[in-house]
Amino acid sequence: MTLASDSPLGAAKPSRWHRNSAWWRQFQDQREINPAPLSDVFCAGMPRSGSTWSYNVARQLLSHAFGAQQIDGGYLGEGPPVDAALEQRLLPNQVRLLKFHQATRRTLERAEQGRARVIVTYRDPMNAVASLVDFFATPLPRAVAKIKRSLVEMQRWQADRPCLADCV
């Protein structure tokens, strides 16, 4: 399969926030100032890009920093279930960690307002398409459309607020 040079499925360069150690240090820095510096962390990567792995790493790091009992959330699906979770009030000092692939208006607003930290995973689009086809038996046109949507999502996250991009 050959891609046109202007194809949105061409491999994009990671954002300037990729592997930014200062981004990770802010959790510890903020914890020393305020024991509950944030309420939401989003793991919002493209499908088949290591988003579950990044979610598990974030869960472990946040559990270590704040205590496992203080971490709420998980993978709830896409769209309305994510927004419903954001409507739930957190207990004091609790952190909500949500994993999803499609941003909602509410998740973008939280990131834009600085009320959420965002971790975005990235994989070469052709590999992500191949993985969707192979792993889930997704028809090729549907897999291509899904990854194209994810690339647009990544641009929205990066435009709204600096995010940590993790490339697989």
Is 29 part of any domain? no
Predicted local distance difference test score (pLDDT) of residue 162: 54
Whether pTM exceeds 0.75: no
If DSSP states are collapsed to H, E and C, what string results for 8-27?
CCCCCCCCCCCCCHHHHHHH
Please give the average per-residue pLDDT across 91-102, as a whole number. Answer: 88
Is 11 part of any domain? no
Is 135 part of any domain? yes
Q: Which domain holds residue 133?
A: 35-167
Task: Tell me if residue 77 falls in helix, strand or coil.
Answer: coil
Q: What's the CA gap between 94 and 36, in Å, rounded?
A: 7
First-to-final CA distance of the chain: 21
Is 12 part of any domain? no
Is 27 part of any domain? no
Q: Which residues contact 102 (CB under 8 A, 6 or more apart)?
A: 78, 79, 149, 153
State pLDDT tens for residues 14-31.
555 555 666 656 655 554
Is 13 part of any domain? no
State pLDDT tens for residues 38-93.
689 999 888 999 889 999 999 998 888 888 888 988 998 898 999 999 988 888 78
* Cβ atoms of residues 145 and 8 within 8 Å: no
* Cβ atoms of residues 101 and 82 within 8 Å: no
Strand partners, 74: 98
Query: Is the pLDDT at 160 greater than 60, yes or no?
Result: no
Domain tally for the chain?
Answer: 1
Give the CATH number of the domain where residue 87 resides. Answer: 3.40.50.300
Between 44 and 155, the more confident residue is 44
